[in-house]
Structure 1
Amino acid sequence: MSWTKHTVILKKCKDAQQHQFYILATKKFSWTKDVLTNHIENNTYEKYLLNQTNFEDVLPESVKKQAYLAVKDNYTFDFLNLAEKHSESDLEESLIKNIHEFLLEMGSEFTFVGNQYKVLVDKREYKIDLLLYHRKLQSLIAIDLKIGEFGPERNGKMEFYLSVLNDKVRLPHENPAIGIIICKSKNRTIVE
């Protein structure tokens, strides 16, 4: 990416998360300087955030803005060096082996709680792929790993996990749990 594009981003964007969004989008879509400028001026970043989460409905006003900044839409796991064909358990195992790099990619305020985190509901055991904690948001972060495309059934499973975490694991001073579904790809209309 050219220095000119970096300069546009630095001049027009307010925070590091916004910088990261436009850098990744510019690289991914090969935006020219003018196209990049147009996206920044049309608030593409803000519009994108509004359509990716249910934070507006579930989080208290005091942490909504922080939550939007804490969760990215695209994560790069190049450090895993996984084969083209791999299983979800291979992905999870590799993330655990590279936990430091994984947490850096997620963001500076995330801490690791556990993998295959067990929760009991009516004497049945369920396992959350990864459980993190976000220090600023004071929220548990459930992560569901999928190697394929996002599907609506994934959201239902995540909602179940979040309900269980909020009812059985969350401490009284903590905010509601947040879910992140990591998939290889997604159809924007289905996600929304």
Structure 2
Amino acid sequence: MTDKHEAHTFDSDILSDIQEIISTSKAQAIRSIDFQRVLMYWQIGQRIVVEEQDNQERAAYGIGLLKKLGEVLDSQYGGGFSERSLRLARQLYLTYPIRNALRSELNWLQYRLLIRINDPEKREYYALEAVNNHWTGRELERQINSLLYERLLMSADKESVLQVARKQRVPTDPREIIKDPMVLEFLGLSDQSAYHESQLETALINHLEAFMLELGNGFSFVARQKRIILEDEAFFIDLVFYNRLLRAHVIVEIKTRKLTHGDLGQLQMYVNYYDRVEKLADEQPTIGILLCTEKNDSLVKFALPETNRTILASKYEVILPSEERLLAEIAKVETRLAQERQKPSPDSVE
């Protein structure tokens, strides 16, 4: 007779399915609680704004109102209802006056970051990408602080960047996803030039999730030091990824120095190999990214064909640059691109 306490055997699928149901339900419950907090602050902000508007001397009245409310509420309910919190609640309502514009996928910490952004299109971009990529509050803060939006605008126009974030179109050009410069402050390396390429490569692998976040949307890791044989000679590609949005392999070569013409030639060889040997018929051409500490834009321009859309050179930073320095670099690139657009094409010269 079988012991009634004997363990039953069952298909492993049912266990994994139930585990997934439990995990999903718990995550939804947490998100629901987080969003209720957002709604609470939105309603508080709405009530404060209505009260201020009903009073003729709004400015002075608002300052005193929030201070007094904060003192009472903070002592009664504890943290989270101070004068500063009430100001944030007020700003939330002023930024998102339409209740249905709030996204339930985002929590209070993320909204606190978003309402600091004055540019509506920039704010929309970060909100959409936080939802699309399931960013945590910390990841969203990191992307804002590293000027992700501005760096993308260096190689793509604003409307294209927003259309991709809104899922109105699929990116077709690698420059719509891949940033220049790349910011690798998460590696914890000091700003020095004594690194070997293998050290930087190892650091990137050890922080692979953060590196793929910096690379852009849709990346998955394929190989490190990918060995290829050309006749009887072996070559090793530093890193290989695949991007599901671009539907293409992405090769990353790392140089801990200023790039040279030879570096571009080597990367072009790897890209050609993948296009001719590894790429499937329905996939897009392979993309090559050369990470370097310094690059000569003119060298890149003239070393590659004018029709090149697959080889990209990107400068990297191992510490988070100041906002002023990043913006200065962005301004220089924007000026150069504007000057190039104003030059008459050879065909237009009589």
Structure 1 and Structure 2 fold alike (TM over 0.5): yes
Q: Does 1:123 align with 2:251?
A: no
Q: CA offsets, 1:39-80, max 9 Å, x none? A: xxxx86548xxxxxxxxxxxxxx9773423122111111111
> Identity of paired residues, percent?
26
Q: Which amino acid aligns with 1:20?
A: L
Q: Gaps spanning 5+ residues in structure 1: where? A: 26-42, 48-61
Query: Corresponding residue for 1:168?
Result: 277
**Match for residue 107 of structure 1 among 216, 224, 236:** 216
Other structure's SS at 1:93 match: helix
Q: Does 1:87 align with 2:215?
A: no
**d(CA) in 2 for partners of 1:81, 1:44:** 26
Evaluate the alpha carbon distance shift between residue 63 and residue 165 of structure 1 in structure 2; reply closer, same or farther with a 3 A threshold: farther
**Match for residue 136 of structure 1 among 231, 239, 245:** 245
What is the Cα deviation at residue 4 of structure 1? 10
**d(CA) in 2 for partners of 1:82, 1:159:** 29
Q: Gaps spanning 5+ residues in structure 2: where? A: 1-113, 130-146, 158-168, 302-350
Query: Corresponding residue for 2:118?
Result: 7
Q: Which amino acid aligns with 1:139?
A: A
What is the Cα deviation at residue 87 of structure 1? 0.6
What is the Cα deviation at residue 21 of structure 1? 4.2
Other structure's SS at 1:126 match: strand
Task: Tell me which protein shows more helix as a share of its residues.
Answer: 2
Q: Which amino acid aligns with 2:177?
A: A
RMSD over equivalenced CA pairs, Å: 2.9
**Match for residue 185 of structure 1 among 274, 294, 306:** 294
**Does structure 2 conserve the Cα–Cα contact (< 8 Å) formed by 1:21 and 1:45?**
no
Q: Which amino acid aligns with 1:7?
A: N
What is the Cα deviation at residue 81 of structure 1? 1.6
**d(CA) in 1 for partners of 2:188, 2:266:** 28
Matches within 5 A, 1:6-155: 6-8=117-119, 10-11=120-121, 20-22=148-150, 24=151, 45-46=155-156, 65-83=172-190, 84=192, 85-155=194-264
What is the Cα deviation at residue 174 of structure 1? 1.2
Scaled by the length of structure 2, the TM-score of the pair is 0.40
**d(CA) in 2 for partners of 1:170, 1:15:** 32
**d(CA) in 2 for partners of 1:80, 1:113:** 20
**Does structure 2 conserve the Cα–Cα contact (< 8 Å) formed by 1:77 and 1:102?**
yes
**Does structure 2 conserve the Cα–Cα contact (< 8 Å) formed by 1:121 and 1:164?**
no
**Does structure 1 conserve the Cα–Cα contact (< 8 Å) formed by 2:117 and 2:123?**
no
**Does structure 1 conserve the Cα–Cα contact (< 8 Å) formed by 2:171 and 2:245?**
no
Other structure's SS at 2:293 match: coil
Equivalenced residues, count: 156
What is the Cα deviation at residue 153 of structure 1? 1.6
What is the Cα deviation at residue 100 of structure 1? 0.9
**d(CA) in 1 for partners of 2:154, 2:195:** 33
**RCO comparison, higher one (Cα < 8 Å, 6+):** 1
* Runs of 4+ more than 4 Å apart: 12-17
Scaled by the length of structure 1, the TM-score of the pair is 0.70
Larger Rg: 2
Q: CA offsets, 1:7-63, max 9 Å, x none? A: 23x33799569x7242x59xxxxxxxxxxxxxxxxx86548xxxxxxxxxxxxxx97
Evaluate the alpha carbon distance shift between residue 44 and residue 161 of structure 1 in structure 2; reply closer, same or farther with a 3 A threshold: closer
